[in-house]
Structure 1
Amino acid sequence: MSRPRSRATLLMGVVLIAALLTGCGGSQSSGGDGLEKKTVTVAALPLVDTAGLHIAVQRKFFEAEGLRVQIKPVAQSIQALPALKTGQVDVIAGGNYVTFLQAQAQGTLNLRILAPGAAAAPRFMGVLTLPNSPIKQAKDLEGRTVAVNIRNNIQSLSLNAILRADHVDPAKVRYLAIPFPQMGAALQKGQVDAVHAAEPFATDMTRKLGAKMIVDGGSGPAVAGLPVSGYLSTQRFTDKYPKTAAAFQRAIQKAQQLATSDRKQVDQVLPAYAHLDAATASALNLPAFPPSIDQVRLQHLADLMLQDGLLKQRIDVRSLVFAAQPQ
């Protein structure tokens, strides 16, 4: 997933930002003492999901842990996968779990999850139609074409779960891959009947096209709190630099706690890295920012992937979560 440079093109417009932070001591942290590696390179998407990373930079949580963080923006997390595998990048921020769990299952990556990024929340994602569309509810999607950013990923996966809960056969819905910034135009041209959009695109289409959300993709028992993205690394990194990984994890957890308890913290960082004006940022329907990994819900996500055929065998997610040793 990505975000447009303006409201129309934010997803693909990636601005080169590098934040180099110098270390200093901090209470209840290592203060850099004993860290195997003091500079961590993070490939980050310009998504709402990565607000925790930028809050941690702004509030100097990394500095307090003795870390310097170098941020390298990318448009899609999959673009940074080769660099993660070769060690050119240490962490991917905002990496969607579906893609990386598939890479783990296929043996192309030995994944370790350091911290959560975003989880489903009401109206953060949803199916939108034009105001004059005959599609008014989930049942009406049968036989229709729905745009998703990437096929066989979190959008189709979560919508399929919602459809099944509403007694709709997901096999009767056609998915077409259309980048988020182009969804509004595709809807207007009649190329698709509906779009499954995430923020800030849903709000943008609502304002510009009068689009209506007919399925809330972030609420309901099938998807409530469903993990969407996280801060992802490799076993090689966490085995070689366990204290560094733990310091990074602590800083992100502090930032996630702020993001979930104080929306203003998110609103303050969004405009700079996500290319949103302040008014738009404050109007968005934000995801949840869990301060710690919910292994039960993450396992539910993996099980949904198995149900939809995105995995061939069940994955035990507990083996993929990095657990720092007590200080």
Structure 2
Amino acid sequence: MAALALLLAGCGDGGGSGSTGSGGLTEITVAALPLTDSAALYLARDRGLFKKEGLSVRIQPVQQSIQALPALSKGQVDVIASANYVTFLQAHEKGTLDLRILAEGVRTAPHMMDVLVPRDSGVKSVADLAGKKVAVNILNNIQSLTLNAILDRQGVGRPVYRQIAFPQMGPALERNQVDAVHAVEPFDSALQGQLKARVLLDGATAPVRSLPISGYVTTRKFATGHAKAAAAFRRAIEAASKIAATDPSAVRAELPMYTKVTAEQAKTIRLPSYPATADAAQLRRLTELMRKQGLLQKDTDPATLLVK
């Protein structure tokens, strides 16, 4: 809540809504998490891709994408980067957000997120997770969705999830408040390095390989009311995503600039997949999985949510 208060204070009445600033640039306010998911956003900023499109982009850091959802609904934030699709698809279905997807963020790749346990933990196998306490960043979201799918495929009983923000997962594991944590990069590598946490399970294994998990989301009001700015933003992100996909070293160089990852740590972090363009068919894999697990009550066609 403190992070949200800071976000809203930073936006003020003048932030958001594609306002026109000096030099005729269109100003866009973007809330973003300090994750590898947001790499294209920072690459687009630092390589002048937004400027090339005539945009001035202000980035507001948040610890959970859900914190920025009220600000997005009110137009105080124009776009949320690294937005966990599950949260926003649920909000759209409930009518609390008229969602539009500007661009894809990332898809799962091997070990970009892992289930970690203390090195001396009695949890030795995936089967041992049944009934155990596992920390996730947000309840009933992409982490539990993907882990449930993996466990169901392997015939393993489900754990009990506890909501703990990524930065607090290490202390929770050290204090034995949970039995395991489901961490994403860069927190994944940090926990392995600092706590010597052991990888119990690759969180991106079958059946959730290459699954879209986050993106750049906005509202229908912004996408239609500021169509040129929305299209320009999408082009810049897609250009940056192409750089991220073809040159991982560019991402590794960027990470220390907006996360707590050091340049040395960035060399070994497992990166997600950065798709150049949004794919409705791939997004449908996600919505069908959500429907199967009861996180969506109705069938959703992602193609209707993509901003062209």
Instruction: Report SS of the residue matched to 1:146.
Output: strand
Name the counterpart of 1:244.
Answer: 229
Q: 1:301 aligns with which of 286, 294, 300?
A: 286
Report which stretch shifted further, 143-152 or 228-237. Answer: 143-152
For 1:319, the aligned partner's letter is T
Q: Aligned residues: percent identity?
A: 49
For 1:194, the aligned partner's letter is A
Name the counterpart of 1:284.
Answer: 269
Q: 1:212 aligns with which of 187, 193, 198?
A: 198
Name the counterpart of 2:56.
Answer: 68
Displaced runs of 4+ in structure 1, greater than 3 A? none
Instruction: Report SS of the residue matched to 2:182.
Output: strand
8 Å Cα contact 1:94/1:231 also seen in 2:
yes
User: How far 1:132 moved relative to its partner?
Assistant: 2.4
Where in structure 1 are there 5+ consecutive unaligned residues? 1-12, 19-35
User: How far 1:17 moved relative to its partner?
Assistant: 10
Q: 1:179 aligns with which of 165, 189, 197?
A: 165
2: distance between equivalents of 1:207 and 1:54? 25
How many equivalent residue pairs? Answer: 291
TM-score (norm 1): 0.84
2: distance between equivalents of 1:86 and 1:135? 44
2: distance between equivalents of 1:43 and 1:182? 20
1: distance between equivalents of 2:61 and 2:307? 24
Instruction: Report SS of the residue matched to 2:138.
Output: coil
1: distance between equivalents of 2:164 and 2:69? 21
Name the counterpart of 2:94.
Answer: 106
Name the counterpart of 2:243.
Answer: 258
The 5-angstrom pairing of residues 157-236 of structure 1 reads 157-170=145-158, 173-220=159-206, 222-236=207-221
Q: What is the RMSD computed on CA atoms of the aligned residues?
A: 2.2
1: distance between equivalents of 2:166 and 2:71? 24
For 1:161, the aligned partner's letter is A
Name the counterpart of 1:94.
Answer: 82
1: distance between equivalents of 2:61 and 2:132? 35
Where in structure 2 are there 5+ consecutive unaligned residues? 1-5, 12-23
- Residue 124 (structure 2) pairs with residue 136 (structure 1): yes
Name the counterpart of 2:139.
Answer: 151
1: distance between equivalents of 2:61 and 2:169? 23
Once the two structures are superposed, residues 167-222 of structure 1 have per-residue CA deviations (whole angstroms, 9 ceiling, x without a partner) of 1233xx211122222222322332222211111222122112222111100122x1
8 Å Cα contact 1:37/1:244 also seen in 2:
no
Higher helix share: 2
TM-score (norm 2): 0.89
1: distance between equivalents of 2:237 and 2:157? 39
User: How far 1:37 moved relative to its partner?
Assistant: 7.4
